[in-house]
Structure 1
Amino acid sequence: MEKINSLSLDLETYSDVDLNKCGVYKYAQSSAFEILLFGVSVNGGEVQVYDLAQGESVPVEIIKALTDNSVLKWAFNASFERVCLSVWLQRYYPQYFESYSIHEDTVGGYLNPSAWRCSMVWSAYMGLPLSLAGAGAVLGLSEQKLREGKDLIRYFCVPCKPTKANGGRTRNLPEHDAQKWETFKAYNKRDVEVEMSIQDRLRKYPVLDFVWDEYHIDQEINDRGIALDRTLVKNAIAFDEKSKAELSEKMQELTNLDNPNSVQQMKQWLADNGLEMDSLGKKEVASVLKTAPEPLRTVLTLRQQLAKSSVKKYQAMENAVCEDGRARGMFMFYGANRTGRFAGRIIQLQNLPQNHMPDLEQARGIVRDGNYTAAELLYDDIPDTLSQLIRTAFVPRPGMKFVVSDFSAIEARVLSCLAGEKWRSEVFANNGDIYCASASAMFGVPVEKHGVNGHLRQKGKIAELALGYGGSVGALKAMGALDMGLAEDELQPLVDMWRSSNPNIVKFWWEVDRCVKETVKKRVPTETHGIRFIYQSGMLFIKLPSGRQLSYVKPRMGENRFGGEAVTYEGVGGTKKWERIESYGPKFVENIVQAISRDILMYAMKTLSHCFICGHVHDELIIECSKDVSVDAICEQMGRTPPWIPGLLLRADGYECEFYKKD
C-alpha cells in the first residue's frame, strides 16, 4: 500500500445506548458498541468499505495510520469517528493505540485530536449548514447524501422492538435483510464521497491553522470531561419525583380535575372560576399571580412549581455520565456559525439556572444526604431549590478544586474599544461600573451603585444590555423594562439618551452598514474601524482583528420591511430552516463584537491550556486544579489582552469553590 498521508473516514456503528441523549463518549463505552462498516479513502483515492459486521478486517496499514499523528484524519463531525475509533482500537488493537494524555489528566482514553480535521467545522466556518446533507445541498454537489440513510440507521444501528413477525429479536443484523445491507454499504461509501467533495469545494477557503488549534483545544476539553456528584444527582431526581407527586395531589384536591397538568383542563377550570387566560406560559402566569384571588393564586403557584423543568438537567447528567463519573462531549465547537461561538450539548451548561440561595451549601448537603423531610421543612419550594442546586452537581476530582474565572463586561469593552467611545474606555480603565457610568451619561447626574441616584443604575443596565446593537423600544421591552417598573413613555427617551451619549457607537453601526452595502453592491473590499469586508465568489467575508473571518453565503441587496434597502444572505434563520436572512449595520456589529469576544476567550483558553479546563460558559472558564493554585494568577493570565487588539482593556475576575456555582 502507498505511503498514507491522509484518510477520509465515515463509520456506521451499533450501540444499545441512545446517541442523542447520552453523547458519543457514553455511546462508545457500551459493551454492545461495535463498528459495522468502515468507509475510508486513502490519500483522496477510491473509497473502500470494510464490512466488519460480516467478518472483513481493516488493513493493518490503515490501523497504524489511525494512531500516527503525522497522518491527517478527516471526517464530517470528526469527534464521533475519533471517539469511536479510540474505544475500538483499545479493544481490538491495543498494541497500536496510544493516548495523548499525561498521567495527571483525564483525557487518557482517546486518540490525539491534533491529527484530526473536521469538515463540519469547515462548513460552519463558511456559514454553511451543520449537516452533511445540508452542506452538500447548499454547495450544489453532484454527489448528494443518500436519502434512505435515516431508515437504514434505524434498522441496523439501534436496537429494535421484539415482535412476533421478527421472531422476538432485539437487533437487526445483515442476514435479516441482505438487500438493505448492500444499500447501507452504498450509503456509507457515499457519505465519505460527499465529505471529500465538501473538502474539495471549500479548498479555496482554507480554515486557518490557528482555528484548527482552537478546535483541538475544544476536543481536549470534551475528552477531559467534568465530574458529576452522582449521589446528589440521584437524590435530586428522587426528590423531584416525590415533590411532583405531592404537588399534583394538592392540585387535584383544590381543582377536582382528572389531570391538573392538562393545559386545556386547567384553562377551563380557571375560566369556570372567573379567570380567562389565553396562555399558561411562565410570564403570563407570573403577571396574573400578582392580583389573583384564592384559591386561584395557590393553584397557579402550584402549577408554576410543577412546570419547573429543572429535573431534566439532572436526567441529562444521569444519561451522559461515563464509567469514571465524568460527563464528556458537552461543548460543540463553532456551534453558532454566524460568530463561531460554542454551543452546548447534552446537559447544556450554556443555560443553567442561577443560584441565589444564601444557604446553598446547606441545601446541597440535605439533598445529598437524601433527607427529604428536612428539605420540606426548610424550603417552601422544592422544585426551585433543586433548580438552584443544578450547578453544584459539577464537582472537581477528589483533592482538587474549581477555579471559575470570567471576563467582566466583555462585549461592552470590545464595542467601546472598536467604536473609540473614549468615556467608556476610561470607565473600564478605572475599574468603574459601566451601568452606573451609562446612567450618569444619560441623565447628566452622578450615579453610584447602592449610593447617590442608585435607582438609576437599573435603567443604565437595561439600556446597556438592550441598546448596544441598534435596539430600540422593542428591545427594551423584550429585556423586561416594563416588568422592572419603567413606564411605556420613558422608553423612547431612554433610547434617545443612550444614543446621544454614545455617538461613536452609533457612528460605528452606520459605518459598518455603509461598508457592507458597498462591498455587496460593487464587489469591492472596504474597511472601517479595523474590520475588513470582502466579496469573493458569492460570499461576503468579514475579517476580524484576530485574522479569523465571518462568512455570509450568497449576499445580495434586498428591501427591508420599511421599504429601505437591506443586505440579505442565506443561513439558518429563526425557523431553524435554511432561508434568506435580512441584516443591517447594527446586527453585523453584534456579530462582529460577539465573534471578537469569542476570539478573546479562545486566546485565554490557549494561554491557560496548561491547566485542566473542564468547562466554559459564554465568557467564563471552569478550571480543575490543585488546592494551591492561585485564583489571582489564573485571572491575571486570562485577562491578558491579545496582541491583535491593542488598547482593549480586559479584566477577569474569579473565585474558587468545592462545587460549581455562581459567585
Structure 2
Amino acid sequence: MNTISIDLETYSDVDIGKCGVYKYAESPNFEILLFAYSVDNSDVTVIDITKGEKIPDEIISALSDPSITKWAFNSQFERICLSEYLHRHYSLATHYLSPVSWKCSMTWCAYMGLPMSLAGAGAVLGLEQQKITEGKELIRYFCVPCKPTKANGGRTRNLPMHDKDKWDRFKKYNIRDVEVEMAIQDRLQKFPVPDSVWEEFWLDQQINDRGIAVDMEFAKNAISFDAKSRESLMNEIKEITCLENPNSVMQLKDWLIEQGMEVTSLDKKAVSAMLPTAPPNVQKVLGIRKKLAKSSVKKYQAMENAVCSDGRARGMFRFYGANRTGRFAGRLIQLQNLPQNHISDLAEARQLVKAAPFEVMELLYDDIPDTLSQLIRTAFVPQAGYKFIVADFSAIEARVLAYLAGEQWVLDTFARGEDIYCATASRMFHCTVVKNGKNGELRQKGKQATLSCGYGGSVGALIAMGALESGMKEEELQPLVDAWRKANPNIVNFWWAVDRAVKEAVLQHTTTSTHGIKFICKSGMLFIELPSGRRLSYVKPKMGVNKFGSESVTYEGSNGTTKKWERLESYGPKFVENIVQGMSRDILMYAMAAFEEYRIVAHVHDEIIVECPEEVSVESICQLMSKTPPWAAGLQLKAEGYEGKFYKK
C-alpha cells in the first residue's frame, strides 16, 4: 500500500460554514456516515458506517502511517474528522493526525491555477467522470439537522431508513467523488506539486491545528456592550427623528429630505460628505448612523462560533487561498481584515470591557462601537505563562519589486534605513524631503505614488488609494504618476520586459526569461517560475485583444469580482504584481519554516504571530525573520516587532 484516496460523508449539528471543521468534528453529535476509499488507484470501496460496517484494520493503521500518502480533496476536512473518529472509537489520535503524509488535491488544483472546487476542476479539465450534481441536495438531507414538520413526524434528522433510494444515491455520490479526485490527480501527474510546497502545506496545517487562544470572557462582554450601545443609540435616533425604524434606508432618506438635505445614498462616503454642511440635528443623526454602521460585533460573534472547547480558534487560514500567487486566504474570523488600533489607552480600554460595568465604559468613551472595533485584535491572547511576539516585514513588496527590477536607488534607501516615501518624493520633485521637516508636505505624495504606481497604476489607482481624500487635486494626479515613473525607470522597464517575455512564450510555446524570472508555455499552461523555484500557473493562455484594442495575453481563471470561471486578460505590470506578491509570499514561508522551534499561532499578510516563553526576545525573532533566502541573495530584509499579552496593530 502506497496511497489511499479518501472521501467522507459526515453528520454534525454544528454549522461547518460558521464554525469550521475543528468545532464541527468536536460536537458530541458528530459522526462519520460513509467512508469511501481507493488503495493505489484500485476500484473505490465504500464503508457504510451507519449500518455497522467497519473500516478494515489495515486502513485504520494506514491513516497514521507516515509512509503511506493519504489523498483527499480539501484533505484538512478528512484528516480532522478521522482524527476525532479514531480518538472516539480506537483511542488513537489524542489530538490530530499529523498532516505529514497527507496531501490535498484541492491544493494541487490551486497550484495549477484551477478552480478550488471538485466540480469546477473536473469541468475545466474535461474529465470523463464528473461530480454528481445532486450531491448538495443529498448532503442537505443527510448531513445537517432538518426542521421538524408534521410530514416528517417531527424529527430533527434524516437517517438512511427515511429514504433508502436517496441513501443508495448518496453512496454512489460518495464513490464518485473519490473517482473524480483520482481522475484529477491522474490528469495533473505531469505537473507535480514540488515537495517544498507540500512541506509548506504541512506547516500550514500544523498552525491551523495549533490555533490561537481567544479571551472569550472579553469577547462575550464586548458582544454584550455592543448590544447595549446599539440599544442606546437606537433610542436616541428614534427620539430625534420619530421614525419607527431608523435602520430603514427609505424612512431615513425621507426624514433627511424633510430636513432640507439632498440625499441619493446613505453609504459611508455619502454620509461623510453630508456631515459638514448639515444642521445640528441632522449631524447628530448621521453621526449615530455612522456609529451603528460599525460591524465590530460580527467579529466577536465569529470568535464565539469558531472557538473550540479548549478556548482556541482553529482553521483560520486557507493554504494557497489565492491560487495565482499562492498567498493565504483568511477563514472564519478573517484575521486578514481586522480593524487597526488607534486609541492610546488600548490596555485600559480592554480591561474596562473585560471587568467594568457598561455604564463606566459609556461614561469614558463617546463612541462605544468604534472602541469595540479597535479592540477586536486584543481578544487574541497567548496561553498562560507565554507571551506574543509579533513581527512583520517592512515594505516587503517595495523591496522585492526594486530588487527584481534592479532599481538600485530604492535598494540603497532601504539599506541606509531611510524613509522610502521621503526618498521617493525627493526624486520625484528634485528636492530634499524630510519627514516633519524641510518640504515635509511632499512626503504624502511620495507615499501615495509608491503605494499606487508600482504595478502600472495610474490616476485611478491613486484615487482608489485615497489621494483625493488626502487633499490632492485631481489635475495633479497624472503629473504625479509621470513623476513617479520617471523616478523609477528600471521598474517601468521591468514591466515591459515581463510583458515581452510572456508574449513571446505564449506565441512561440517556448521558454523565455528576464530579470531572473522564467516564463514557460507548454501543454496548455503558462508557468512563471520564481527565484524560489515555485511556479505561478495560468490556464490555457493565448493571445487576445484587450479593452483598449491592444494585443494582450489572456488565460482562464476565476474572476476576483464575480467569482465566475472565465477568460481573463493581463499584461506586463499585472504579471509583475503576481510575481512580486508571489515572491513576497515565498519569503514569508521561508521565515515561517525557520520558526520551527517556536509556536506560530497566526500570520496576517507579512506578519507572524509567535506564542513563546517570556525569555525569547523580540530582537531574536526579528533577526531570524530578516534572514534572506539563498535564492534572493543581495535582497535586504527588515523585520520589526513587539511583544505583549494580547495582539494589536
Secondary structure in 2 aligned to 1:614? strand
Q: Which residue of 1 aligns with 2:443?
A: 457
Q: CA deviation at 1:278?
A: 2.1
Secondary structure in 2 aligned to 1:113? coil
Q: Which residue of 1 aligns with 2:29?
A: 32
CA contact (8 A) 2:510 2:522 kept: no
Q: Which residue of 2 aligns with 1:599?
A: 586
Q: Does the alignment pair 1:641 with 2:634?
A: no
Secondary structure in 1 aligned to 2:437? coil
CA contact (8 A) 1:233 1:314 kept: yes
Secondary structure in 1 aligned to 2:261? coil
Which stretch shifts more, 200-209 or 241-250?
241-250
Q: Which residue of 1 aligns with 2:138?
A: 152
Provide the aligned length of Structure 1 versus Structure 2: 648
d(CA) in 2 for partners of 1:398 and 1:165? 52
Q: CA deviation at 1:387?
A: 0.1
> Of 169, 175, 200, which aligns to 1:214?
200
Secondary structure in 1 aligned to 2:424? helix
Q: CA deviation at 1:453?
A: 1.5
Q: Does the alignment pair 1:185 with 2:171?
A: yes
Q: Which residue of 1 aligns with 2:308?
A: 322
Q: CA deviation at 1:276?
A: 2.4
Q: Does the alignment pair 1:130 with 2:116?
A: yes
Gaps of 5+ in 2: none
d(CA) in 1 for partners of 2:554 and 2:244? 51
Q: CA deviation at 1:488?
A: 1.0
What does 1:93-112 align with in structure 2 at a 5 Å threshold?
93-94=90-91, 97-98=92-93, 109-112=95-98
Q: Which residue of 1 aligns with 2:15?
A: 18
d(CA) in 2 for partners of 1:452 and 1:285? 36
Q: CA deviation at 1:98?
A: 4.4
d(CA) in 2 for partners of 1:267 and 1:149? 45
d(CA) in 1 for partners of 2:424 and 2:645? 36
d(CA) in 2 for partners of 1:508 and 1:341? 22
Q: What amino acid maps onto 1:417 in structure 2?
A: Y
CA contact (8 A) 2:86 2:93 kept: no
Secondary structure in 2 aligned to 1:127? coil
Superposed CA deviations along residues 201-244 of structure 1, whole A, max 9, x for unmatched, are 00010000000000000000000000000110000000011111
Q: Which residue of 2 aligns with 1:424?
A: 410
d(CA) in 2 for partners of 1:98 and 1:324? 17
Q: What amino acid maps onto 1:91 in structure 2?
A: R
d(CA) in 1 for partners of 2:570 and 2:448? 23
Superposed CA deviations along residues 394-420 of structure 1, whole A, max 9, x for unmatched, are 000011000000000000000000000
d(CA) in 2 for partners of 1:248 and 1:448? 47
What does 1:41-120 align with in structure 2 at a 5 Å threshold?
41-94=38-91, 97-98=92-93, 109-120=95-106
Q: CA deviation at 1:443?
A: 0.9
Q: CA deviation at 1:505?
A: 0.2
Q: What amino acid maps onto 1:626 in structure 2?
A: P
d(CA) in 1 for partners of 2:258 and 2:80? 57
d(CA) in 1 for partners of 2:109 and 2:418? 41
d(CA) in 2 for partners of 1:206 and 1:271? 63
What does 1:393-472 align with in structure 2 at a 5 Å threshold?
393-472=379-458
> Of 563, 576, 589, which aligns to 2:563?
576
CA contact (8 A) 2:129 2:179 kept: yes
Superposed CA deviations along residues 561-580 of structure 1, whole A, max 9, x for unmatched, are 11111111111112111111
CA contact (8 A) 2:392 2:608 kept: yes
Q: Does the alignment pair 1:121 with 2:107?
A: yes
What does 1:338-377 align with in structure 2 at a 5 Å threshold?
338-377=324-363
d(CA) in 2 for partners of 1:127 and 1:191? 21
Q: Which residue of 2 aligns with 1:104?
A: none
Q: CA deviation at 1:492?
A: 0.8
d(CA) in 1 for partners of 2:279 and 2:484? 41
Q: What amino acid maps onto 2:604 in structure 1?
A: V
d(CA) in 1 for partners of 2:344 and 2:269? 25
Q: Does the alignment pair 1:509 with 2:495?
A: yes
Q: Which residue of 2 aligns with 1:105?
A: none
Secondary structure in 1 aligned to 2:555? strand
d(CA) in 2 for partners of 1:24 and 1:171? 20
CA contact (8 A) 1:208 1:548 kept: yes
d(CA) in 2 for partners of 1:297 and 1:230? 36
d(CA) in 1 for partners of 2:297 and 2:576? 37
Q: Which residue of 2 aligns with 1:631?
A: 618
Q: CA deviation at 1:638?
A: 0.4
Q: CA deviation at 1:292?
A: 1.9
d(CA) in 1 for partners of 2:385 and 2:437? 42
- Percent identity between matched residues is 66
CA RMSD of aligned residues (A): 0.8
Q: CA deviation at 1:282?
A: 1.2
Secondary structure in 2 aligned to 1:114? coil
d(CA) in 1 for partners of 2:62 and 2:296? 45
Q: Does the alignment pair 1:553 with 2:578?
A: no
> Of 154, 169, 176, which aligns to 2:162?
176
d(CA) in 1 for partners of 2:437 and 2:74? 53
d(CA) in 1 for partners of 2:43 and 2:422? 64
> Of 255, 261, 265, which aligns to 2:251?
265
Secondary structure in 1 aligned to 2:203? helix
Gaps of 5+ in 1: 100-108
CA contact (8 A) 1:235 1:370 kept: no
Q: CA deviation at 1:646?
A: 0.9
Q: CA deviation at 1:281?
A: 1.3
What does 1:249-260 align with in structure 2 at a 5 Å threshold?
249-260=235-246
Which stretch shifts more, 52-61 or 320-329?
52-61
CA contact (8 A) 2:517 2:530 kept: yes
Q: Which residue of 2 aligns with 1:498?
A: 484
Q: Which residue of 2 aligns with 1:590?
A: 577
What does 1:205-244 align with in structure 2 at a 5 Å threshold?
205-244=191-230
d(CA) in 2 for partners of 1:557 and 1:291? 52
d(CA) in 1 for partners of 2:74 and 2:269? 38
Q: Which residue of 2 aligns with 1:106?
A: none
